[in-house]
Structure 1
Amino acid sequence: MKKILLLLLAFTGTLLATAQKTENKKKTDWSKIDLSDRPADHLMIQYGGDSWTNRPDSVRTGNGFSRHFNIYFMVDRPFKSNKKMSIGLGAGIGASNIFFKNTKVDIKSPTTRLPFTNVDSTNHFDKFKLTSIYLEIPLELRYYSNPENPAKSWKAAVGLKLGTLLKSYTKGKNYVNKNGQSLYGTSYVEKSSSKRFINGTMLAATARVGYGIFSIDAGYQLNSVLKDGTGPVMRKFSIGVTISGL
């Protein structure tokens, strides 16, 4: 997973460096481009897959598509000296859903470490996930091949994302016995909510590259998903699609 992010970061960095060399050769004065008609703010929507790296055997993810959905309101500020480059800064909500296979995550446990319990041979939920919702501030260094028309432009961005935890909860659906037979009906749902084990601060490195309004994005959490001392040191890796006007 790290290799994918590093590859995307390397590709983005190469694109930025190549673009800068090309501009130096052409000696184009991009500072004179008029971008007054280009929107200075926009929405950025992201959807894709999530996983936790460095998982021990007890943390059995799967039995569902672990995913994220993020939405941000962004402000874009082009560089005065080169309008092909800009800084994007925003705020919004990021939600991550990690699914587990025959594993109970007791987020309300009174223990000091978050239990991940194997429930293969006992009654358990057929679908079980842990959701973490953060208020996030993304920061991006951006490049556009055609800053006057972003809808017909190659684009690349690298950045950081800082988040503060708003809510974390588990959700189990369809309680079954060890043979997979539903006990209360397939629509039965049980939720538990607690922020005690989940890291209250999230810091991630991000990168994306694409054309027009679509881009492929990747992110890697630099700090642990769980608070220090409450469980294994695991980090979230994300890869998905971004829809953004800039």
Structure 2
Amino acid sequence: MNFFDMKCKVLRYLLLLLIVSVGAKAQIADSLVETIQIKGLIIMKGKDTKGKRIFKVYNDTAYARERLKKNLQTRWFVVDLGFNNYIDRSDYSGAVALSYYAPNGVSDVYNKSFTYSAAGLNTLAPRGGSAPLTPSEFKLITGKSINVNIWLFQQRLNIYKHKLNLIYALGVEMNNYRFARNITYVPGYPTQIIRDNVNFSKNKLFAEYLSVPLMLNFNSNPARPSRAFKMGMGVMGGYLVKARTKQISRERGKEKKVDEFNLNKWKLSLTGDVGYGPFKLYGNFALTPLHDYGLEQYPFSIGIRFNSF
């Protein structure tokens, strides 16, 4: 064997050793990267060949396209978290006149006025002539008037190429109305609201409805939900299943009262949502007043929707 042949043989061994070394490093690098798939979401985490940490999240388009073969899809436990308030259209000026006309704010005529008129308002919230009714009596602390909705299931029915869909759900709406003033709901028939003589550190009305929303939905990119613009609009019907008040004061401690408090048993609302990718905002506006008579207040809520289509 001459020197040239020996040199070639050594080079072959070195080249083979280099290839094996690179392959081993690649295998080690691959073993340091962990891939997790949760339905259509792929998560990669670990270290690259240089030891640098990596973390990537992206959608599996193949999974999304496979799901598009189904015309009916279901999501479980969709949650809304937002704030409540209401638009007040009560006839306060007429109620003030009645409160001056009837100093005690109550008479047999007014007690029979279960309407949204001034007489009906004076029936629900009577005031003496020296203390006329004002909208500020029912002012809310918006930041503490929390709305939580839990939809047990939400279904999406394809109408046209998965871009136009029908979405419906079943769940509960839980509305907290946190009052800024010291008013008290007095249970009974008729229910009355009085201006109390104690200062409450917490004073709220809670109303829970069993509700069914029905919306027409638009999705700009069904195959890539994380990059899709989504919008829905429709109506929602609800039935009052629970109502209570909760008050906390130094004088009385913690008090809870359970009653219907003259709240409407049925609720009809406009509902809608809009979002991009996984982020979505919702809004509900009631077409029926909160109370059955007297106060003509139309509740609305806005917030963030989680785990929705």
Range into which the TM-score falls when normalised by the shorter chain: 0.7 to 0.9
Selected match of 1:118 from 195, 202, 226: 195
Is 1:94 aligned to residue 192 of structure 2? Answer: no
Could you say which residue in structure 2 is the equivalent of 1:77? 157
Is 1:35 aligned to residue 79 of structure 2? Answer: no
Distance 1:53-1:91 versus aligned 2 partners, 3 A rule: same
Could you say which residue in structure 2 is the equivalent of 1:139? 214
Could you say which residue in structure 2 is the equivalent of 1:166? 241
1:164, CA displacement in angstroms?
A: 0.4
Could you say which residue in structure 1 is the equivalent of 2:182? 103
1:95, CA displacement in angstroms?
A: 0.3
Q: Give me the whole-angstrom Cα distance separating, in 2, the residues matched to 1:160 and 1:63.
A: 24
Could you say which residue in structure 2 is the equivalent of 1:52? 86
Selected match of 2:301 from 231, 238, 244: 238
1:62, CA displacement in angstroms?
A: 2.3
Question: Is contact 1:214–1:244 with CA below 8 Å preserved after alignment?
Answer: no
SS in 2 for 1:58: helix
1:124, CA displacement in angstroms?
A: 3.5
1:245, CA displacement in angstroms?
A: 3.5
Q: Give me the whole-angstrom Cα distance separating, in 1, the residues matched to 2:295 and 2:191.
A: 9
Q: Give me the whole-angstrom Cα distance separating, in 2, the residues matched to 1:63 and 1:136.
A: 23
With CA pairs under 8 Å and 6+ residues apart, which has the higher RCO, 1 or 2?
1
Distance 1:107-1:208 versus aligned 2 partners, 3 A rule: farther
1:94, CA displacement in angstroms?
A: 0.5
Question: Is contact 1:153–1:211 with CA below 8 Å preserved after alignment?
Answer: yes
Counterpart of 1:123, as a letter, is V
Counterpart of 1:205, as a letter, is L
Distance 1:239-1:152 versus aligned 2 partners, 3 A rule: same
Selected match of 1:128 from 195, 203, 220: 203
Question: Is contact 2:237–2:268 with CA below 8 Å preserved after alignment?
Answer: yes
| Larger helix proportion of the pair | 2
SS in 1 for 2:136: coil
Question: Is contact 1:129–1:171 with CA below 8 Å preserved after alignment?
Answer: yes
Counterpart of 1:61, as a letter, is L
1:63, CA displacement in angstroms?
A: 8.1
Sequence identity, in percent? Answer: 24
SS in 2 for 1:57: helix
1:104, CA displacement in angstroms?
A: 2.3
Question: Is contact 1:158–1:207 with CA below 8 Å preserved after alignment?
Answer: yes
Q: Give me the whole-angstrom Cα distance separating, in 1, the residues matched to 2:227 and 2:142.
A: 39
Question: Is contact 2:137–2:183 with CA below 8 Å preserved after alignment?
Answer: no
Q: Give me the whole-angstrom Cα distance separating, in 1, the residues matched to 2:191 and 2:261.
A: 10
Higher Cα Rg: structure 1 or 2?
A: 2
Could you say which residue in structure 2 is the equivalent of 1:152? 227
1:151, CA displacement in angstroms?
A: 2.9
Q: Give me the whole-angstrom Cα distance separating, in 2, the residues matched to 1:64 and 1:211.
A: 25
Question: Is contact 2:71–2:157 with CA below 8 Å preserved after alignment?
Answer: no
Matched length: 198
- Cα RMSD (Å): 2.3
Question: Is contact 2:217–2:230 with CA below 8 Å preserved after alignment?
Answer: yes
Counterpart of 2:174, as a letter, is A
Counterpart of 1:214, as a letter, is F
Counterpart of 1:244, as a letter, is N
1:150, CA displacement in angstroms?
A: 2.0
Unaligned runs of 5+ in 1: 1-31, 177-182
Q: Give me the whole-angstrom Cα distance separating, in 1, the residues matched to 2:266 and 2:279.
A: 28
1:105, CA displacement in angstroms?
A: 2.7
Q: Give me the whole-angstrom Cα distance separating, in 2, the residues matched to 1:60 and 1:83.
A: 44
Could you say which residue in structure 2 is the equivalent of 1:7? none
Shifted more, 99-108 versus 46-55: the winner is 99-108
Counterpart of 1:75, as a letter, is Q
Could you say which residue in structure 2 is the equivalent of 1:192? 257
Could you say which residue in structure 1 is the equivalent of 2:291? 226
Q: Give me the whole-angstrom Cα distance separating, in 2, the residues matched to 1:66 and 1:245.
A: 23
